[in-house]
Structure 1
Amino acid sequence: MPRDDASPPGLRHTQDLFYALVTGAKGVVHEQRMQEPQLGELQSIIAADERLSAVERLDIYATMYFCRLRDVLREDYPKLRACLGDDAFDDLARAYLSACPPTRASVRDVSEKLPGFIEGSQRGPASAGLSELAALERALIEVFDGPDTRVLELERLRGMSAQDLVTLPLSFVPNHIVLRVDHDVDRLWRAIELGSAESAICEKQTTVLIWRKDLVSCFRAVDALEASALDLALAGETFGGVCAWLSEGRSVDEAARIAHEILGRWVTDALIASGR
């Protein structure tokens, strides 16, 4: 049966109207005008008193809603915020939350689409560099929440025979991300920490390795040689296979030295799963 116009709105209808009014990008007053057919219901949903009207009371919730989610974005993207400045970051947060409102109850995923939003809504090298900086910050969150895995320890590596090393599978821990970007985000990150980010965005194809070691999210840029070795390892190549690839155009001793340096770095960084 259709609802009697004189009866109070149902719970779902009330929730939908409340959400639309509170989360509107341009504020409660603007959203109230957009909800014109339902305005007569507002007073029956939100009680006014001698101090505040229904709209004013809703506006308090709207301010709290934005501030809470903005604070989540600030916490997730401290380097991006430092690079942009507070006012520009807050403008970005408001535009982002309007275009990509949360779809889950947890605030953990509120910021997950921000790198793509920056990339899609702005143009030019500076904005591209900022979207890649945001992608790096998001990746640090992702690896921190990854599963725990037993890693290959340096002591065990040193005790392996030559044959064991040749057949060693280079299985990376699941809580790692390889980020390939067109700007030197590593340099930009360091410049932000030194307070000189204004002219630090420069075009440079960069491979960034992000992972968690113990309870700390880490990252570093890798050079072209290590990046190629990384691709081989992630494709399922053994340590012996990486050594064979490195021996092309190099002496056996030099290839072995480089391969051991790379493997030692990965093991020290707690990137290789133990396999047992």
Structure 2
Amino acid sequence: MTDYAPRSLADLQAGLQNYVLGDGVSDDILSELTGGASDQSKRRLHIYHSGYRSRMNEALQSAFEQTWAYLGDDAFDAICTRYTETNPSHSPNLGDHGRNFPRFLQQALSSDPEIAELATMDWRLHSAFDAPNAAILTGEQLANVGEAQWASLGFVFHPSVSLAQFEWNALEIWHALDQKQTPPVAEKLNEPVGHLFWRSDQRSYFRTLESDEYAALKGLLEGLGFAQVCEQLAEGYPNTSIDASIGTWLARWLSDGLLSEVKPGPV
């Protein structure tokens, strides 16, 4: 005679979670939860299985509105389901579910690379809107920085700020879709183009960057000191007046609310 010990509550919860996140094979968990595997019980359990995927797909629709419009309902729903099956959500925030979606599309739809870039644009705007609040550095505060401090000065950026480079005309496609117009045919650009994303006054924004401003922001976001970035720009763009450019950029960064505080840079 074999003794039977029912599984603990934690094991049952884990079994239900595995069913919801898995392929929908239910007999084992049904036996544990209900003592049988009737058709009615299977239907009830399937509600959890399909409901989870519906919620995840809805979250992706919300975050990737233009990607959804570009692919169409059926294709987008299918790729979302594939993504959710291989990238189950581990965050209590539904808005986080799409974090790896652009990278997934880059691999899953590699023959159409503009789709991953379009999704990147959607996600950066979504993330900028959802980013936490933070202090905004003012021109007056920056003016109070001593001249000697500029040699090692760095910046803390607002949490909503991010950069992305696109090799395809994802920006044109996004604009057309946003205006409910037919998007242009996907075309590869002559060279990668950088874009800046941020939030101001509860709205997400983006703008295209010249390569020198993109390099400056990229270096500062990676933690380089202001002087280091200026030196790199002087070497990389010898025909550009870096002093004039950096002054113009700083004024705009302050106006757009990109900077949160000044910090000591690396020695």
Q: What range is the shorter-chain TM-score in? A: 0.7 to 0.9
In structure 2, what is the Cα distance between the partners aligned to 1:213 and 1:45? 56
Shift of 1:148: 3.4
Q: 1:148 to 1:4 in 2, by over 3 A?
A: same
Gaps of 5+ in 2: none
Q: Secondary structure at the match of 1:4?
A: coil
Superposed CA RMSD in Å reads 3.7
Larger-gyration structure (1/2): 1
- Give the equivalent residue in structure 1 for 2:204: 217
Deviation string for 1:12-55 (max 9, x for gaps)? 33223323333344xx4xx23xx5x6665464178x6xxx7111
Q: 1:151 to 1:42 in 2, by over 3 A?
A: closer
In structure 2, which of residues 125, 129, 134 is the aligned counterpart of residue 140 of structure 1? 125
In structure 2, what is the Cα distance between the partners aligned to 1:206 and 1:178? 11
In structure 1, what is the Cα distance between the partners aligned to 2:173 and 2:148? 38
Residues 1-276 of structure 1 aligned to structure 2 (within 5 Å): 4-5=3-4, 8-25=6-23, 28=24, 31-32=25-26, 40-41=31-32, 43-44=34-35, 53-124=40-111, 126=112, 128-154=113-139, 156=140, 160=143, 167=150, 169=153, 171-175=155-159, 176-196=161-181, 198-204=183-189, 205-234=192-221, 235-238=224-227, 241=230, 245=234, 248-249=238-239, 256-275=243-262
Q: 1:83 to 1:142 in 2, by over 3 A?
A: same
In structure 2, what is the Cα distance between the partners aligned to 1:114 and 1:209? 20
Q: Secondary structure at the match of 1:273?
A: strand
Q: Secondary structure at the match of 1:104?
A: coil
**How does the TM-score come out when normalised to structure 2?**
0.77
Q: 1:20 to 1:241 in 2, by over 3 A?
A: closer
In structure 1, what is the Cα distance between the partners aligned to 2:197 and 2:215? 16
Gaps of 5+ in 1: none
Percent identical among aligned pairs is 22
Q: 1:227 to 1:45 in 2, by over 3 A?
A: same
Q: 1:265 to 1:45 in 2, by over 3 A?
A: farther
Deviation string for 1:44-74 (max 9, x for gaps)? 178x6xxx71111112222322211111111
Number of aligned residue pairs: give it. 256
Q: Secondary structure at the match of 1:167?
A: helix
Q: Which is strand-richer, 1 or 2?
A: 2
Deviation string for 1:199-246 (max 9, x for gaps)? 343222121112222422322221123223334544212499479839
In structure 2, what is the Cα distance between the partners aligned to 1:56 and 1:121? 31
Q: Confirm or deny: 8 A CA contact 1:187 1:200 kept in the other structure.
A: no
Q: 1:41 to 1:217 in 2, by over 3 A?
A: same
Q: Confirm or deny: 8 A CA contact 1:232 1:242 kept in the other structure.
A: no
